[in-house]
Chain A
């Protein structure tokens, strides 16, 4: 990743995942290849915060923050414990699409039923979108930057990019970065439904000719990012490298992608430039692939225009995970990092008949693979585009 300063390479040395298909790396990887139930709402049903939080602590954290804490602390555990670092040079960057809307919705009910004097005094610190980042910093005692950005469904990707830049630019030696989301409330699900974004069939089938919308989900993923030479010096196991990233905006429409996937294509090209790689160097694209008619058409055109027709294998794990909104990009980065370890590309579950209009090699079955640089895309309402270039260790 380029920097104005002498180049500092950024590697991933820890990874934690909370997702509807599995909590922890082994369960998550297995879940990526397991056919899901056809559900429009895909929750992390088996999440129990008590390994990380006492019941009293959990009561004061919205579920999206509980996910963030769990994923961050799993990432540190994966790295063999928190590295011995200067706390003032240790940072956190966690994106979210909506933040603690579940807490807000509960308290709206309290207000209506019992009046303003019974609204919880913990409401604001639980609802605020930066609660995840703030709480992770607090629990580690890390006093470097602790930030949240919110770019709808691109937030997880943008936060990993922003966290990597904090290391590349020399501000931080270590950063926990990723995305966290738990916003499936009756109101948000109703709103996604009335705007016709959700699948009517409950089948998430990215790039399929019969795709009819996304299946909303929740979760979190966090990576531990470190400057490469110090990570190697302490004998850390490297899971991958952040080679480059880009962020653009369509400036076209609030919810519809720009025609022909122009914004997405430009974002991928800028990310390749940042990584100092050519399209031919890329060995896999982990697509945003939401299973909505418009997203998948625009993204397929963008991928074909950047890499050439059928030039690179493409997976969308949203066929099984559903769409984790602000967590999605981080969960997908986790999938890429595990592809490096397993030498395998996960399938695009749910998809059987790729739309014949798309000149894209959609991975439909687990595929043996020789690891190389990967582009991971996320696109959000507002026209936000994010692309990460991740490389194998």
Chain B
């Protein structure tokens, strides 16, 4: 679909030009959206209900993660969010909250 003249980028259409306030609001929404996406992806890959994915949940003892499942989960997070999980940081995470924090760090603007 052709973009109206004078507009570029993927948002296009009839959306108003972004303001500082709208960018901030979008960022907060996108952070919560990140949490939801991670939760849905993790529930599917770890075969656990989303309600079990609370911040203190222990990956091995509570969520049943084993070494191969951890690798597969890491791949899926990298694909979903376009990040590269550093091997050592990924290996050190012990709780679901630590995974959320690691992802937030990787997604934060440099």
Contact = CB atoms under 8 A, between A and B. Distances in A.
B47 A55 contact: yes
Nearest to A117: B75
A57 interface: yes
A122 B45 CA distance: 13
Contacts of A120: 72
Contacts of A260: none
B47 A121 contact: no
A143 interface: no
Contacts of B75: 117-118, 121
Interface string A52-70: 0011110100000000000
Interface in A109-157: 117-118, 120-122, 125
Interface string B38-57: 00000000110000000000
B47 A56 contact: yes
A266 to B, nearest CB: 46
A120 B69 CA distance: 10
Interface residues of A, number: 11
A122 B75 CA distance: 12
Contact of B47 (A57, A117, A118): A57
Contacts of A121: 68, 71-72, 75
Interface in A8-64: 54-57, 59
Contacts of B47: 54-57, 59
A383 to B, nearest CB: 38
Contacts of A117: 75
A117 B47 CA distance: 23
A55 B68 CA distance: 17
Interface of A is mostly: helix
Interface in B1-56: 46-47
Nearest to A59: B47
Nearest to B76: A118
Interface in B52-79: 68, 71-72, 75, 79
A49 to B, nearest CB: 13
A54 B46 CA distance: 12
B100 to A, nearest CB: 21
Nearest to A125: B68
Contacts of B46: 56
Nearest to A55: B47
Contacts of B71: 121
A120 B79 CA distance: 13
Interface in B71-103: 71-72, 75, 79
Nearest to B48: A56
A118 B76 CA distance: 9
B74 to A, nearest CB: 9
A119 to B, nearest CB: 9
Contacts of A59: 47
Nearest to A114: B79
A146 B47 CA distance: 28
Contacts of A125: 68
A106 to B, nearest CB: 14
Nearest to B45: A56
Nearest to A119: B75
Nearest to A58: B47
Interface in A313-329: none
Contacts of A57: 47
B29 to A, nearest CB: 30
A118 B72 CA distance: 9
The 4 closest A-B pairs by CB, nearest first: A56-B47, A121-B71, A121-B68, A121-B72
Given A121-B71, A125-B68, 10 more contacts: A55-B47, A56-B46, A56-B47, A59-B47, A118-B75, A120-B72, A121-B68, A121-B72, A121-B75, A122-B72
17 contacts: A54-B47, A55-B47, A56-B46, A56-B47, A57-B47, A59-B47, A117-B75, A118-B75, A118-B79, A120-B72, A121-B68, A121-B71, A121-B72, A121-B75, A122-B68, A122-B72, A125-B68
